[in-house]
Amino acid sequence: MDEIHTAGVWRWTARPRVWAVVVCAATAVVLLVNLGGPPLWDDDEPKNASCTLAMLAADDWVVPRFNGALRSDKPPLVNWLQMAGYALLGDNESGARLPSALLTIGTSLLTGATAAVLFPTLPLVGLWAGLAMGTCVWTGIAGRAATPDAGLCFFTTLALLLFARSVRDGGAVPRLSWPAAATVGAALGAAVLAKGPVGVVLPLAAFGMWGWWQAVMAGAETSPTPRSLRSLLVHAWRSIPTAVAAVRPITILAVAVVVAAPWYGLVWFRTDGQWIRDFLFVHNVQRFAGPLEGHGGPPFYYLVVLAVGFFPWSIVAALTLADAWRALRRPQAASGMRLLAAWAVVWLGCFTIAGTKLPGYVWPAYPALAIATAAFLERWRLDPTIVSARWMHVGWTILAVAGMGIAIGVPVAVGTLGSASPLLGLIGVVPCMAAAVAWIAQARGRRGGSLAALAAAGCLTVMLLAAVGADRMGRHVGVRPLVAAAGPAGDTAAWASYRCSVPGLVFYSGAASRNGAVPKCDDVAAVDAFFAAHPDGRIVTARAAVEQILAVAPPGHTELARSASLTRHKEYVLVGPAPSHGTRRTAAHTDLETRERDTRR
């Protein structure tokens, strides 16, 4: 007898309200625990957070600016949402990241709801899909980041759900209704405000591919005799108008334009078109044509990204692909799987051929991967004969091996930054224990318990990596430790940078809140002029340039602290006035002196 009929707990959990609460709780654990603990990472987080503060200081909701200059990298939806985050939690890391975390919790719920729509005969598919989306590694990273990615992922997933609900019962080639097309367009218009044209172009391409696929298969199924290759190609070409009519792309695009155009028109007018030109030609066309800022990669780049980013659910990736292939070969039941396949192929295919590659670019494809994975796992829970038990044992073994890798790799990685902590290796114990529990539960016929162990492994492992491991690493990375080393006087002192780009300095020095800027000195003469105007000023520079700064610095200036840069593979150094006698020593001072003693030894 099916497990769903023998375990009352699964019958109860299959209720939409129950599994939605479970998904919401698990994703909240992954994202909200110690949300503001780690510093703002990389370039994008401090730029977005500082841009929002500058817009608030200038009382300008239209023109994004960073460090006193026009910022054309991204549209302002992330900034508008961060304004609300600052109002709730203050001008800090938590306030900057809260909107992303809440949107990502919403994306997990939307993923579960979409799975339930596409596969209504699988009772717990919504639960597993929502958990897979909410507890994978990349969700723990991007869902905690103060970037536009969470907004793009949320609104494109919302459009996917609205589209799926509208076409699920419409026959072989269902036609999207006018109201449904309008709601899909409104969601994609918000996605355009989050990250630009990609928010509407790729979803429309995916919907169009699905409609064309449906039309081609419908014609092939009704053909009384096998068709030649030529006749199949002719039929595929003639199916394009049917697909276009079914999807209503003109309606979707028109509504998306109505939603997004007012701000784009205002920013064009306010900047004489400069923002639009820079955004479209630099941050869209050039990024697609070639690698910018060194962000390139081989053709298999995103296969590696998905293997790591979708962990721990990627341990059954091969089995999921095999199950999806079997589903696509069953025409009567393949409509939902075709939609998922079209969605994943468009997002992954587009960015695979693009010149610039970053892990977050394909995050909007994760809902489709999560739903396909959930469909396979739920089928296996109900019918273990669909796959050999040995193949599931391989999956649990991969989970355990990955746990051992985490136990070794995380302490080593954090230790290279000067913060050795062997206890971080205990994080790897979680997936190892989960693998053992899943194996035992499978042997006892409790396959639901195996999947619960997998979900628990994702939730706890990703939370610990993001909330504890990243916090520990952040103590010696980026600008925040340097500003802390400057002491209370650094809150009002003038700051500058020399021969290095340090976006976080704008946020942590307070320049963004004052609607000011941190000057970037390009030569020693500029450094000399800065110190002449600000005798007590602080400068952040690369380690190789410290002696040049000290040669022109006012008497009493010295090296105060160092910190690492994850993305630029260099060490930042703070040069400023030496602390006066009796001044309270900071953790950064103590750490610097300890490292100097170790170096001398």
Per-residue pLDDT tens over the stretch 114-151: 999 999 999 999 999 999 999 999 999 999 999 999 99
Confidence of residue 582 (pLDDT cuts 50, 70, 90): very low
Higher pLDDT, 373 or 585: 373
Encoded tokens for 387: 């796959």
Neighbouring C-alpha atoms within 13 Å toward the C-beta of 237? 6
pTM of the model: 0.92
Kindly report, residue by residue over 396-426, the tens digit of the pLDDT: 999 999 999 999 998 988 877 766 678 889 9
Average of per-residue pLDDT across 226-239 = 65
Kindly report, residue by residue over 73-121, the tens digit of the pLDDT: 999 999 999 999 999 999 999 999 999 999 999 999 999 999 999 999 9
Kindly report, residue by residue over 246-278, the tens digit of the pLDDT: 889 999 999 999 999 999 999 999 999 999 999
Cα distances from 7 to residues 2, 188, 435, in angstroms, run: 9, 41, 22
Confidence of residue 331 (pLDDT cuts 50, 70, 90): low
Q: In sequence order, what are the beta bridge partners of 541?
A: 498, 573
**Torsions phi, psi for 515 (to 5 deg):** 60, 35
Encoded tokens for 186: 């409104």
Distance between CA atoms of residues 468 and 30, nearest Å? 11
Kindly report, residue by residue over 158-170, the tens digit of the pLDDT: 999 999 998 876 5
The DSSP secondary structure of 33-81, one letter per residue, reads: TTTTSSPPPTTHHHHHHHHHHHHHHHT-SSS-EETTEE--SS-SHHHHH
Is the separation of the CB atoms in 332 and 339 below 8 Å? no
Confidence of residue 567 (pLDDT cuts 50, 70, 90): low
> Which 3 state secondary structure label does DSSP give 136?
coil
b/e for 533-542, b at 16 or more Cβ within 10 A?
A: ebeebbbbbb
Residues whose CB falls within 8 Å of the CB of residue 317, separated by 6 or more in sequence, listed in order: 306, 307, 310, 373
What is the chain's Cα-based Rg? Answer: 26
483: amino acid identity, one letter: V
487: amino acid identity, one letter: G
Distance between CA atoms of residues 91 and 510, nearest Å? 10
Residue 155 CB neighbours (<10 A): 29
Is the separation of the CB atoms in 30 and 134 below 8 Å? yes
List the beta strands (DSSP E) in 459-529. 495-498, 520-521
Q: Is the pLDDT of residue 171 over 50?
A: yes
Tell me which residue has tokens 């005969």. Answer: 121
Q: In sequence order, what are the beta bridge partners of 66?
A: 69
Residue 581: the pLDDT is 43
Neighbouring C-alpha atoms within 13 Å toward the C-beta of 54? 26
Confidence of residue 589 (pLDDT cuts 50, 70, 90): very low
Nearest CA to 370 out of 596, 153, 592, 202 is that of: 153
Q: Is the pLDDT of residue 15 over 90?
A: no
> Which 3 state secondary structure label does DSSP give 272?
coil
The DSSP secondary structure of 213-239, one letter per residue, reads: HHHHHHHHHH-SSPPPHHHHHHHHHHT
Whats the size of the chain, residue-wise? 601
Residue 55 CB neighbours (<10 A): 24
Q: Is the pLDDT of residue 12 over 80?
A: no
